[in-house]
Chains A and B, each alone.
Chain A
Amino acid sequence: ELKVEQNPLFLSMQEGKNYTIYCNYSTTSDRLYWYRQDPGKSLESLFVLLSNGAVKQEGRLMASLDTKARLSTLHITAAVHDLSATYFCAVPTYNTNAGKSTFGDGTTLTVKP
């Protein structure tokens, strides 16, 4: 059974600081997804990582995938308050089909001034 673990589950940062969220998964997959969820809202797709070594950046967020280590990271650079949200990683249960994905528990990020 595929397991996806994120850490930390809660993260409180000061504005301007850097930090990394980690996502480990238990079975072979060369695809991984990152989502953002604001309180009371749905999931917004952030990154789709489709191969080993994939790196994608959007603003202050950068995601990478190491399929050999079964590890993805979401790096936050110079955090700002607008980044406060819950971040989920998800791995497709069947390697090529995102339609059934297993999600991590989420990392709730709070950025303080």
Chain B
Amino acid sequence: KAGVTQTPRYLIKTRGQQVTLSCSPISGHRSVSWYQQTPGQGLQFLFEYFSETQRNKGNFPGRFSGRQFSNSRSEMNVSTLELGDSALYLCASSGGTGVTYEQYFGPGTRLTVT
């Protein structure tokens, strides 16, 4: 069974630009969560999507948004990039029909904002 995939793996953007990251969950998984990891703030929850609906949202500004498609693939978008958005963005997928017991993480997208 293929694992969680994320594209691109590395990205360099300039302040003020926007970026879209993609995540393909494990086949059959309907929940996709996004996390931001930085040395200063650690791992922080961004949002979770389940069956194309945002189920949970973390404490991030509106510049961070996401969506999920009918095939469970998810994208997250960051507009008007700031230097502080430089981070490793991790996507995690979970199985089950509603209750999710375990998350499987993708390799991450490392975003550098200059």
- A43 near B105: Cβ-Cβ < 8 Å: yes
- A88 near B100: Cβ-Cβ < 8 Å: no
- B99 near A101: Cβ-Cβ < 8 Å: no
Give the complex CA separation of A47 and B33 in angstroms.
19
Q: Is A14 in the interface zone, CB < 8 Å from B?
A: no
- A99 near B48: Cβ-Cβ < 8 Å: yes
Give the complex CA separation of A106 and B60 in angstroms.
21
The total of chain B residues at the interface (CB under 8 A) is 26
Query: Which of these binds chain B: A20-28, A55-63, A71-79, A90-98?
Result: A90-98
Give the complex CA separation of A104 and B42 in angstroms.
8
- A42 near B56: Cβ-Cβ < 8 Å: no
A70 vs chain B, min Cβ distance (A): 19
A31 vs chain B, min Cβ distance (A): 7
Q: Which residues of B contact A88 (CB under 8 A)?
A: 43
B105 vs chain A, min Cβ distance (A): 4
Question: How would you classify the secondary structure of chain A's contact residues: helix, strand, loop or mixed?
Answer: strand
Give the complex CA separation of A100 and B103 in angstroms.
10
- B102 near A99: Cβ-Cβ < 8 Å: no
Q: Is A105 in the interface zone, CB < 8 Å from B?
A: yes
Q: Is A111 in the interface zone, CB < 8 Å from B?
A: no
- A45 near B101: Cβ-Cβ < 8 Å: no
B28 vs chain A, min Cβ distance (A): 15
Q: Which residues of B contact A106 (CB under 8 A)?
A: 42-43
User: Can you add 16 more A-B contacts, CB < 8 Å, to A42-B108, A44-B105, A97-B55?
Assistant: A35-B105, A43-B90, A48-B101, A90-B43, A97-B56, A98-B101, A99-B33, A99-B55, A99-B92, A100-B33, A100-B48, A100-B55, A101-B33, A102-B45, A103-B35, A105-B42
A/B interface sample: 23 pairs, CB < 8 A: A33-B103, A41-B107, A42-B107, A43-B92, A43-B105, A45-B105, A48-B102, A93-B56, A94-B56, A97-B55, A98-B94, A98-B101, A98-B102, A99-B48, A99-B55, A99-B92, A100-B33, A101-B33, A101-B45, A101-B103, A103-B35, A104-B42, A105-B42
